[in-house]
Amino acid sequence: MTNLSPHNWLDWAVQPPYLHPPYTSTVKRSPRSSLIPLGQSLAELTGPKFGEGDIHRLDNDLTKNSVQDGEPLGERIIVNGRLLDDSGKPIPNSLIEVWQANAAGRYWHKKDQHNAPLDPNFHGSGRVLTNKNGVYRFTTIRPGAYPWPNHYNAWRPSHIHFSVFGVNFLQRMVTQMYFPNDPLLSLDPIYNSTPNEAARQQLIAIYDHEVTQPNWALGFRFDIVVCGPRQTPFE
């Protein structure tokens, strides 16, 4: 029988638990008491809504939205996919925010002191709205792997962070997209905190030759399901 959270929409057969000791940060941050559901008012369930006016024209191109003096370094990629509800119905006009390390595996953040170069032409953040068919698409640089202090010789597999607003403002979900055939995936406690192999596979983008553009960029597809039996694992 499926074990549902107090919010009644997270399926713990596929979602990572709050406490996963191999991912050491969860030991301190996971809740010690039962969660208390908060009531939702009509205003929260119906708005605010995002629209084209909230998006800058370069927000969906991370290779251009922070350029100083040239092209960012690395392998240019196009990521696209659909945002879906539990019945497979596309969710239009939803805001998706993304952030990531640069090609050398370094974040544009003062706390990231990894000994790898910053790229002055790549800050690694963007956002995009899904269209009327629930489809999103953005251009970026394939992120590099980076070390982290979770355990000895720990390296995060290449990934892009996603924050997704669902059918209303209260459905904000955060997840990570990985790349196919990455040897670091099987060693990664965050990826492995998702308990179900089929659900873990949902976190890996698929190479998309239809989206790949000649002499320009490789394409990847990453569909996101916000609820239901095929729900994407979230953090």
Catalytic: which of 20, 123, 159, 200? 159
Q: Is 161 a catalytic residue?
A: yes
Catalytic: which of 20, 106, 142, 146? 146
Catalytic: which of 106, 161, 178, 200? 161
Q: Is 107 a catalytic residue?
A: yes
User: Based on the number of CB atoms within 10 Å of its own CB, is 12 exposed (0-12), middle (13-18) or buried (19 or more)?
Assistant: middle
Q: Is 146 a catalytic residue?
A: yes
Q: Is 18 a catalytic residue?
A: no
Query: And the tokens for 56?
Result: 């800058």
Catalytic: which of 20, 106, 127, 156? 156
94 close to 165: Cβ distance less than 8 angstroms: yes
174 close to 232: Cβ distance less than 8 angstroms: no
Q: Is 230 a catalytic residue?
A: no
Catalytic: which of 20, 82, 106, 107? 107
Nearest-angstrom CA–CA distance, 22 and 65: 36
- Residue 3: partners with Cβ closer than 8 Å, 6 or more residues away: 11, 12, 13
Active-site annotation, residues: 107, 146, 156, 159, 161
